[in-house]
Amino acid sequence: MPVFYNIPRSVFRAGLHINEKLVRISTMEQKTNAAERIIRRFGGQSALAALLGKRQSTIEHWARTGRVPAQWQVPLMSLGRQRGVILEAKDFVEPKPNPIQPAEGRLGILLVGLGAVASTFISGVEHARRGSGRPVGSLTQMGTIRLGKRTENRSPLIREFVPLANLDDIVFGAWDPFPDNAYEAAVKCGVLDRHKHIEPIADFLKSIEPMPAAFDQHYVKRLNGPNVKRGTKREQTEQIRADIRHFKSANECDRLVMAWCASTEIYIAEGPSHLTLESFETALDANDETIALSMLYAYAALMEGIPFANGAPNLTADIPALVKLATDQGVPICGKDFKTGQTLIKTVLAPMLKARMLGLNGWYSTNILGNRDGEVLDDPESFKTKEESKLGVLEDILQPQLYPELYGDVYHKVRINYYPPRGDDKEGWDNLDIFGWLGYPMQIKINFLCRDSILAAPLLLDVALFLDLAKRAGMKGIQEWLSFYFKSPQHAATVYPEQDVFIQQTKLKNTLRWMVGEDQITHLGREYYQDDQEE
Ligand SMILES: NC(=O)c1ccc[n+]([C@@H]2O[C@H](COP(=O)([O-])OP(=O)(O)OC[C@H]3O[C@@H](n4cnc5c(N)ncnc54)[C@H](O)[C@@H]3O)[C@@H](O)[C@H]2O)c1
């Protein structure tokens, strides 16, 4: 029995497709016109009438017609400036976001790698569909979004606000160099309780068998599996494209997304072969070493018009050639490296230090981890890729160039230690040497006993659903609004990445509001404190 949280009974009674109905409900709820939105920002109709010295019926007329007459637009902007309500010319025009295609039909989620993260993700989605588990940690399934002023009390569920694919409409595909099906992978990874969460859905998990992978031990030193493709890099790319098409038709999918949740590859720096599509394809045809296997999947996805996410720190689609290809193909992409344990904590604590102007001398992060990911990261070349991803975060947040006294000389160390007895149950320790008033030193210690894949699985779900939404909304290229999910967010070459998790969350929610033409939330809030306000 599938679960639908907080969905009105009438939706079921009407017998309509659930997404279709929800899109209509949310559209009805959120429909306000440009004039109404402006009036609301001044505290309502009578408040604005009083401020302008006009009759309320005039303001009512503006609300009814949806237009503020041209001669009133400049006076309103200057009144806004006086009262802390920032208005721009575009606020007087009805915004026209791209129409979002409905989430009709089946969504295929293609997973590169069928290991701990992927099998935990698939199992969790299946339990959520059957009502035997809750998708905790997933913003798309459990999160709400505030609309309008705080006094309006409008906070729909995100999945009722934007048309997301329904969990029931998802089908899974995967590639892996090991032939284990999702059941065997879940058992071997040891993340989930076998009795409670694997055996009850065993038949379903056994039905998901990995396709042969494009794999080469040169890029992941600690692994070697038999379920692999043969041929040149170009030939393997064509085989991946054929897999995609075959999966789509065999599973009757309407749309697909692809996510890399395979092992971390060795460190590869961006080089000449990554700069343009021509240089990329030339290198691909020449079997060049700088074209990692993950790039074959990304390139294949983009050529097939499929959104691509990178859950690991590999360079993959974060190169000018593939960013340009994504834009040219009208395909959204995002990455890199899911922000789960220690880095999540780091991107919460570092903004706190900066917000309070507390100094930092050093931050030492170490952890023990015993799963296959830990084994792969035990190889120095794969660790270097991960280390780069984890190290960049502090500098981006603390901006030592702006605050040299506080953050100009931070010693930042990140260690990952492979320790098999712990399996997926990672234990992380952080020690922060900070300083305050007059330079007096203090320390913060954190001991996080987390479960790596339990934290990563909901991120994978959200990223897949949001990428599919972005594609249906006509968004293409890098989706910086999905930075929220990543340790090394892909970003435009002209800006630094936004790493603060709360700024990332605001960016994500404002993007959703923008997509459906709702007001952005600036948190200015002056209108609540006007003496003569109405509402
Ligand atoms: N779990 C987390 O919290 C977390 C957070 C951020 C990033 N990650 C990253 O996500 C990735 C997956 O993590 P995991 O814990 O599931 O690891 P895992 O080792 O359990 O699974 C990875 C799977 O990828 C397969 N693989 C390797 N190369 C492949 C290729 N070329 N094509 C297809 N499959 C391939 C491996 O055989 C393995 O089964 C890792 O790169 C990890 O660093 C995990």
Q: Looking at residue 24, what is its pLDDT? A: 36
CATH number of the domain residue 365 falls in: 3.30.360.10
Q: In angstroms, how far apart are the furthest CA atoms of the chain?
A: 79
Q: Is the peptide bond before 336 cis (omega within 30 degrees of 0)?
A: yes
**50 sits in which H/E element:** helix 45-52
pLDDT of residue 382: 79
Establish whether residue 112 lines the binding site of ligand 1, counting it when its CB lies within 6 angstroms of any ligand atom. yes
Residues in the chain: 535
At 376 the pLDDT is 84
Task: Looking at the structure, tell me whether residues 187 and 221 fall in a common domain.
Answer: yes
Contact 262, 313 (CB under 8 A): no
| Cα–ligand 1 centroid distance for 311 (angstroms) | 8
Distance CA 519, CA 527 (A): 15
Q: Where in the sequence is the domain holding 419, given as residue range(s)?
A: 342-449
DSSP, residue by residue, 64-117: HHT---HHHHHHHHHHHHHHT----GGGGS---PPPPPP--S-EEEEEE--SHH
- What token pair was written down for 164? 């997301």
Token digits for 24?
Answer: 């209509």
What are the structure tokens assigned to 134, written together?
A: 């809750």
Q: Is the CB of 372 under 6 A from ligand 1?
A: yes
Ligand 1 pocket, 114 CB below 6 A?
yes
Ligand 1 centroid, distance to 318 Cα (angstroms): 18
Please indicate, yes or no, if residue 70 is contained in any of the structural domains. Answer: yes
pLDDT score recorded for residue 463: 98
Residues 159 and 178 in one domain: yes
Residue entry with tokens 């929610």? 509
Ligand 1 geometric centre to CA of 313 (Å):
11
132 lies in some domain: yes
Same domain, yes or no: 349 and 316: no
Region of 260 please: left (phi>0), alpha (psi -120 to 50) or beta: beta
Where would I find the beta strands (DSSP E) of 159-254? Answer: 170-175
pLDDT tens string, the chain, 535 residues long: the values are: 333 333 333 333 333 333 333 333 333 334 678 888 889 888 889 889 998 888 888 898 898 888 888 888 888 888 888 888 888 877 887 666 678 999 999 999 999 999 999 999 999 999 999 999 999 999 999 999 999 888 889 999 999 999 999 999 999 999 999 999 999 999 999 999 999 999 999 999 999 999 999 998 898 888 889 999 999 999 999 999 999 999 999 999 999 999 999 999 999 999 999 999 999 999 999 999 999 999 999 999 999 999 999 999 999 999 999 999 999 999 999 999 999 988 999 999 999 999 999 999 999 999 998 887 788 877 887 788 777 767 788 988 999 999 999 999 999 999 889 999 988 888 999 999 999 999 999 999 999 999 989 999 999 999 999 999 999 999 999 999 999 999 999 999 888 898 899 999 999 999 999 999 888 888 888 878 876 544 4
> Per DSSP, what are the bridge partners of residue 1?
none
- C-beta of 311 in contact with ligand 1 (< 6 A): yes
Q: Are 103 and 22 in contact (CB under 8 A)?
A: no
Residue 383 Cβ < 6 Å to ligand 1: no
Ligand 1 atom nearest to CA at 115: 21
Ligand 1 pocket residue status of 121, Cβ below 6 Å: no
Nearest CA to ligand 1 atom 9: 312
**Does a structural domain hold residue 418?**
yes
Do 55 and 132 fall within a single domain?
A: no
d(CA 239, CA 231): 9
Q: Is 38 in the pocket of ligand 1 (CB under 6 A)?
A: no
Q: Exposed, middle or buried: residue 400 (CB in 10 Å: 0-12, 13-18, 19+)?
A: middle
How far does residue 263's CA lie from ligand 1's centre (Å)? Answer: 3
Our answer on whether the CB atom of 371 is closer than 6 Å to any ligand 1 atom is yes
pLDDT value for 514: 94
- Nearest CA to 97 out of 470, 500, 486, 479 is that of 470
pLDDT, position 75: 87
Residue with tokens 């660790």: 383
Q: Is the CB of 137 under 6 A from ligand 1?
A: no
Nearby residues of 231 by Cβ (< 8 Å), 6 or more positions away: 239
Q: Give the span between the Cα atoms of 483 and 500, in whole angstroms.
A: 9
CA of 221 relative to ligand 1 center, distance in Å? 13
- Do 350 and 438 fall within a single domain? yes
Domain boundary among 403, 419, 449: 449
- How many CB atoms sit inside 10 A of residue 145's CB? 22
Q: Please give the model's pTM, rounded to 2 decimal places.
A: 0.84
Residue 361 and residue 308 share a domain: no
One domain for residues 319 and 205: yes
Say how many C-beta atoms besides its own lie within 10 A of residue 311's C-beta. Answer: 30
Q: Are residues 180 and 77 in the same domain?
A: no
Per-residue pLDDT at 31:
60
Tell me which of 111, 114, 117 to substitute to probe ligand 1's pocket, judged by most ligand atoms within 8 Å of the beta carbon: 117
Of 373, 379, 384, 462, which is best to mutate to test ligand 1, by the most ligand atoms within 8 angstroms of its C-beta? Answer: 373
Query: CB of 113 closer than 6 A to ligand 1?
Result: yes
What's the structural domain count of the chain?
Answer: 3
**pLDDT computed for residue 32 by the predictor:** 75
Dist. CA 337 → ligand 1 center (Å): 10
| The one-letter amino acid at 348 | V
Q: How far is the CA of 261 from the centre of ligand 1 (A)?
A: 5
